[in-house]
Amino acid sequence: MKKILAVASGGGHWKQLMLLSPAFQNENVKYVTTLEGLPEQSNITNFSIVQDSNKSEKLKLLYTLIQVTWVFIGFRPDVIITTGAAPGLFCLFLGKLFRKRTIWIDSIANAEELSLCGKLSRMFSDKVLTQWESLACDAVEYKGTVF
């Protein structure tokens, strides 16, 4: 059984991760999100809540990075999967650092270009997926979509 760190901020990112969760139902999964009460709704017991942050909140970003680093070291995942946003990007960075398998799934909301985090994730991900065929290129693949 693989240890999977599955990361998504609250809202649409989390909803998309839940739709994709059958992919790792037989694995040892730890979830990371930003909103208290979300994991319990899907009967998830192994999870951590971290600070939500975005590029306009630099101090919060730093706090998020410290929190996810703590979670990462505690869990020691084999694979990191994220549907965004900033906390997921940080986890991919850590995954790359520790030479783990990493994958970014860009939100279906981004139909015209990859999100900023998605673009940055190319530095730290083994795979970057878009949910729009029209956005696929050498570095970004299309492998299906939640809808």
Partner 1 sequence: MKKSLVFVTTGTQLPFDRLITVVDNWASERTDINVVAQAATSEKLFNNVTTTDFLSPNEYDSYTSKADLIVGHAGMGTIITGIEKKKTLILMARKLKFSEHRNDHQQSTVEKFIDMKGVYIANDEKELLALLCRYEELDAPCDEHTENRDKLINYLSSFIKGN
Stretch of residues binding partner 1 (CB under 8 A), selected from 37-45, 60-68, 92-100, 117-125 = 37-45
Q: Which H or E run includes 4?
A: strand 3-7
The answer to the question of residue 112 lying near partner 1 (CB under 8 A) is: yes
Q: Which long-range contacts (CB under 8 A, 24 or more apart) does 139-145 make?
A: 140/106, 140/114, 145/108
The answer to the question of residue 32 lying near partner 1 (CB under 8 A) is: no
The answer to the question of residue 129 lying near partner 1 (CB under 8 A) is: yes
Residue (9 or 70) nearer to partner 1, CB: 9
The pair of three-digit structure tokens given for residue 82, joined into one six-digit string: 């994220």
Stretch of residues binding partner 1 (CB under 8 A), selected from 34-42, 57-65, 67-75, 87-95 = 34-42
* CB of 32 closer than 8 Å to CB of 47: yes
* CA dihedral sign, ordered 108, 139, 141, 85: negative
Residues that bind partner 1 (CB under 8 A): 2, 4, 10-16, 19-20, 22-24, 27, 35-38, 40-41, 79, 81, 101, 103, 105, 107-112, 115, 127, 129, 131, 143-147
